[in-house]
Copies of this chain bind each other. A is one copy, B any other.
Amino acid sequence: MRVLRAHAQGESSPDLTMPQFRALAFVGRNEGAMLSDVAAFLGLTPPAASKLVDGLVAARLLIREIGTGDRRRVALKLTAGGRRIYQRAVESAEQYLAEHLAKLQPDVRGEVLRAMQALRSIFDDPPEVRSTATGKKNTND
Protein backbone atom coordinates (compact mmCIF):
# COMPACT_ATOMS: atom_id res chain seq x y z
CA MET A 1 0.00 0.00 0.00
CA ARG A 2 2.81 2.40 0.80
CA VAL A 3 4.44 1.80 -2.56
CA LEU A 4 1.11 2.12 -4.35
CA ARG A 5 0.32 5.33 -2.50
CA ALA A 6 3.66 6.82 -3.42
CA HIS A 7 2.94 5.90 -7.02
CA ALA A 8 -0.49 7.50 -6.85
CA GLN A 9 0.90 10.69 -5.39
CA GLY A 10 3.32 11.00 -8.25
CA GLU A 11 0.64 10.41 -10.85
CA SER A 12 -2.54 11.97 -9.57
CA SER A 13 -4.07 15.16 -10.78
CA PRO A 14 -1.88 18.03 -9.62
CA ASP A 15 -4.11 19.86 -7.17
CA LEU A 16 -5.78 16.97 -5.36
CA THR A 17 -4.61 15.97 -1.90
CA MET A 18 -4.60 12.37 -0.68
CA PRO A 19 -7.62 12.77 1.64
CA GLN A 20 -9.52 14.43 -1.19
CA PHE A 21 -8.59 11.62 -3.51
CA ARG A 22 -9.62 8.99 -0.97
CA ALA A 23 -13.02 10.63 -0.63
CA LEU A 24 -13.35 10.92 -4.40
CA ALA A 25 -12.43 7.26 -4.86
CA PHE A 26 -14.89 6.21 -2.19
CA VAL A 27 -17.73 7.98 -3.95
CA GLY A 28 -16.45 6.52 -7.21
CA ARG A 29 -16.91 3.03 -5.75
CA ASN A 30 -20.14 3.97 -3.98
CA GLU A 31 -22.14 6.33 -6.13
CA GLY A 32 -24.78 8.12 -4.08
CA ALA A 33 -23.15 7.37 -0.74
CA MET A 34 -24.20 9.40 2.27
CA LEU A 35 -21.85 11.86 3.89
CA SER A 36 -21.72 9.71 7.01
CA ASP A 37 -20.56 6.76 4.89
CA VAL A 38 -17.61 8.80 3.73
CA ALA A 39 -16.86 9.84 7.30
CA ALA A 40 -17.08 6.27 8.56
CA PHE A 41 -14.92 4.83 5.81
CA LEU A 42 -12.22 7.47 6.05
CA GLY A 43 -12.32 7.39 9.84
CA LEU A 44 -13.28 11.06 10.05
CA THR A 45 -15.79 12.93 12.14
CA PRO A 46 -18.82 14.20 10.20
CA PRO A 47 -17.61 17.83 10.28
CA ALA A 48 -14.22 16.84 8.88
CA ALA A 49 -15.83 14.82 6.11
CA SER A 50 -18.19 17.66 5.33
CA LYS A 51 -15.33 20.08 4.94
CA LEU A 52 -13.41 17.61 2.79
CA VAL A 53 -16.43 17.29 0.53
CA ASP A 54 -16.67 21.09 0.45
CA GLY A 55 -13.34 21.19 -1.31
CA LEU A 56 -14.30 18.54 -3.83
CA VAL A 57 -17.58 20.29 -4.55
CA ALA A 58 -15.75 23.59 -4.99
CA ALA A 59 -13.39 21.82 -7.41
CA ARG A 60 -16.45 20.58 -9.33
CA LEU A 61 -15.52 16.92 -8.86
CA LEU A 62 -18.45 16.02 -6.61
CA ILE A 63 -22.03 17.16 -6.16
CA ARG A 64 -24.32 17.01 -3.14
CA GLU A 65 -27.90 15.91 -3.68
CA ILE A 66 -30.65 16.02 -1.09
CA GLY A 67 -32.00 12.55 -0.29
CA THR A 68 -35.29 12.02 -2.08
CA GLY A 69 -36.91 10.19 0.82
CA ASP A 70 -35.16 11.50 3.91
CA ARG A 71 -34.31 15.13 3.32
CA ARG A 72 -31.64 15.12 6.04
CA ARG A 73 -29.46 12.83 3.99
CA VAL A 74 -26.98 13.97 1.38
CA ALA A 75 -26.23 11.75 -1.59
CA LEU A 76 -22.76 12.30 -3.04
CA LYS A 77 -22.12 11.80 -6.74
CA LEU A 78 -19.23 12.31 -9.11
CA THR A 79 -19.36 14.95 -11.77
CA ALA A 80 -18.08 14.06 -15.23
CA GLY A 81 -14.73 15.58 -14.32
CA GLY A 82 -14.63 13.71 -11.03
CA ARG A 83 -15.30 10.43 -12.74
CA ARG A 84 -12.59 11.12 -15.29
CA ILE A 85 -9.99 11.72 -12.59
CA TYR A 86 -11.13 8.73 -10.58
CA GLN A 87 -11.04 6.34 -13.50
CA ARG A 88 -7.69 7.59 -14.66
CA ALA A 89 -6.23 6.93 -11.21
CA VAL A 90 -7.74 3.46 -11.04
CA GLU A 91 -6.29 2.60 -14.42
CA SER A 92 -2.90 3.93 -13.44
CA ALA A 93 -2.88 1.90 -10.23
CA GLU A 94 -4.04 -1.24 -12.03
CA GLN A 95 -1.37 -0.88 -14.66
CA TYR A 96 1.27 -0.32 -12.00
CA LEU A 97 0.17 -3.41 -10.10
CA ALA A 98 -0.08 -5.51 -13.23
CA GLU A 99 3.41 -4.57 -14.34
CA HIS A 100 4.91 -5.62 -11.04
CA LEU A 101 2.82 -8.74 -10.52
CA ALA A 102 3.84 -9.88 -13.98
CA LYS A 103 7.30 -10.47 -12.57
CA LEU A 104 5.98 -13.34 -10.47
CA GLN A 105 5.60 -16.90 -11.67
CA PRO A 106 1.94 -17.73 -12.40
CA ASP A 107 1.73 -20.21 -9.52
CA VAL A 108 3.15 -17.64 -7.08
CA ARG A 109 0.64 -15.11 -8.40
CA GLY A 110 -2.13 -17.56 -7.64
CA GLU A 111 -0.76 -17.98 -4.17
CA VAL A 112 -0.80 -14.21 -3.66
CA LEU A 113 -4.42 -14.10 -4.76
CA ARG A 114 -5.45 -16.85 -2.34
CA ALA A 115 -3.50 -15.18 0.47
CA MET A 116 -5.34 -11.92 -0.14
CA GLN A 117 -8.67 -13.68 -0.02
CA ALA A 118 -7.69 -15.42 3.20
CA LEU A 119 -6.69 -12.12 4.81
CA ARG A 120 -9.89 -10.44 3.74
CA SER A 121 -11.91 -13.27 5.23
CA ILE A 122 -10.35 -12.99 8.69
CA PHE A 123 -10.18 -9.21 8.90
CA ASP A 124 -13.85 -8.84 8.19
CA ASP A 125 -13.92 -6.03 5.67
CA PRO A 126 -17.26 -4.39 6.41
CA PRO A 127 -19.62 -3.16 3.68
CA GLU A 128 -18.68 0.38 2.75
CA VAL A 129 -22.13 1.92 2.46
CA ARG A 130 -25.04 1.83 4.85
CA SER A 131 -27.57 3.08 2.36
CA THR A 132 -27.77 4.96 -0.89
CA ALA A 133 -29.23 8.08 0.72
CA THR A 134 -31.85 8.11 -1.97
CA GLY A 135 -34.61 7.22 0.39
CA LYS A 136 -35.39 4.01 2.18
CA LYS A 137 -33.06 2.58 4.76
CA ASN A 138 -31.46 -0.78 4.20
CA THR A 139 -31.38 -3.84 6.41
CA ASN A 140 -28.16 -2.82 8.16
CA ASP A 141 -29.94 -0.13 10.12
Contacting pair A9 B104 (CB below 8 A) = no
Q: How many A residues face the partner with a CB closer than 8 A? A: 22
Is A43 in the interface zone, CB < 8 Å from B? yes
Q: Could you tell me the distance between the alpha carbons of A115 and B115 in the complex, rounded to whole angstroms?
A: 6
Number of copies: 2
Query: 8 Å CB contacts to B: which residues of A9-49?
Result: 9, 43
Contacting pair A118 B112 (CB below 8 A) = yes
Query: 8 Å CB contacts to B: which residues of A98-127?
Result: 100-101, 103-104, 108, 111-112, 114-116, 118-119, 122-125
User: Which residue numbers of A lie inside 8 Å of B, CB to CB?
Assistant: 1, 3, 5-6, 9, 43, 100-101, 103-104, 108, 111-112, 114-116, 118-119, 122-125
